[in-house]
Structure 1
Amino acid sequence: MMRVRIIDGHCDALYKMFEQPSIDFYDPAAGLDVSYARIKQANVKIQFFAIFLPERITVPQFDHYLEYINIFYRKITCDGRVRLIKNRDDLYAVWHSDQIGAILTLEGADAVQGNPLYTRTLYHLGVRFVGVTWNYGNWAADGILEPRQSGFSNRGKSFIKDCCDLGILLDASHLSAAAFWDLAAATAKPFVATHSNAKALCGHPRNLDDDQLRELIRRDGRIGVTFVPWFVDSANATIDGVLRHIDYIGALGGERQLVFGSDFDGISRAIPNLEHAGQYVNLVDALEKRYSGTQVQRFLNGNWFSFLERHLPVH
Structure 2
Amino acid sequence: LREILRAVEAVLKDAGEDDSVVSLATSGSEIDAALDADKVAGVLALEGGDGLGGDTALLRLLYRLGVRMVAFTWDRRNEFADGTGVINPGGLTDAGRAALKEMFAHHVICDVSHLAQPGFWDVIDLAEAPIIASHSNARAVCDHRRNLTDEQIRAIASIGGVIGLNFYGKFVDAEAPSVERMADHLDHIVKLAGIDHVGIGADFLEKPIRDLAKTAYADSPHDPAALDVWIPDCQEVEQLPRFTAVLLERGYSRAEIAKVLGENWLRVFRQVWA
* Among candidates 253, 261, 264, match of residue 292 of structure 1: 253
Q: More helix by proportion, 1 or 2?
A: 2
Counterparts in 2 of 1:170-185, with a 5 A limit?
Answer: 170-185=110-125
Structure having greater relative contact order (Cα 8 Å, sep ≥ 6)? 1
Q: Which residue of 2 aligns with 1:58?
A: none
Q: CA RMSD in A?
A: 1.3
Does the 8 A contact of 2:83 with 2:116 survive in 1? Answer: yes
Q: Return the offset for 1:76.
A: 4.8
Q: What is the aligned length? A: 252
Q: Which residue of 2 aligns with 1:21?
A: none
1:303 to 2:264 alignment: yes
| SS in structure 2 at match of 1:94 | helix
Q: Which residue of 2 aligns with 1:47?
A: none
- Matched to 1:75, the amino acid is D
Q: Which residue of 2 aligns with 1:65?
A: 4
Counterparts in 2 of 1:261-280, with a 5 A limit?
Answer: 261-265=201-205, 267-280=227-240
Counterparts in 2 of 1:202-213, with a 5 A limit?
Answer: 202-213=142-153
| TM-score, length-scaled by structure 2 | 0.89
Paired with 1:76 and 1:246, the residues of 2 have a C-alpha distance of 33
- Deviation by residue 1:188-237 (Cα, 9 ceiling, x = unmatched): 32211000000011100000001000101111101111101111101000
- Matched to 1:286, the amino acid is V
Does the 8 A contact of 2:153 with 2:193 survive in 1? Answer: no
Paired with 2:136 and 2:194, the residues of 1 have a C-alpha distance of 14
- Identical residues among aligned pairs (%): 30
Paired with 2:270 and 2:131, the residues of 1 have a C-alpha distance of 14
- Deviation by residue 1:279-312 (Cα, 9 ceiling, x = unmatched): 1122122222221111111111111111111111
1:115 to 2:55 alignment: yes
Counterparts in 2 of 1:181-220, with a 5 A limit?
Answer: 181-220=121-160
Does the 8 A contact of 1:108 with 1:131 survive in 2? Answer: yes
Q: Which runs of 4+ in 1 moved over 3 A?
A: none
- Deviation by residue 1:240-292 (Cα, 9 ceiling, x = unmatched): 00100000011113310111101111643221111211111221222222211
1:282 to 2:242 alignment: yes
Counterparts in 2 of 1:249-268, with a 5 A limit?
Answer: 249-265=189-205, 267-268=227-228
List gaps (5 residues or longer) in structure 1. Answer: 1-61
Does the 8 A contact of 1:77 with 1:84 survive in 2? Answer: no
| TM-score, length-scaled by structure 1 | 0.77
Does the 8 A contact of 1:83 with 1:101 survive in 2? Answer: yes
Paired with 2:127 and 2:153, the residues of 1 have a C-alpha distance of 17
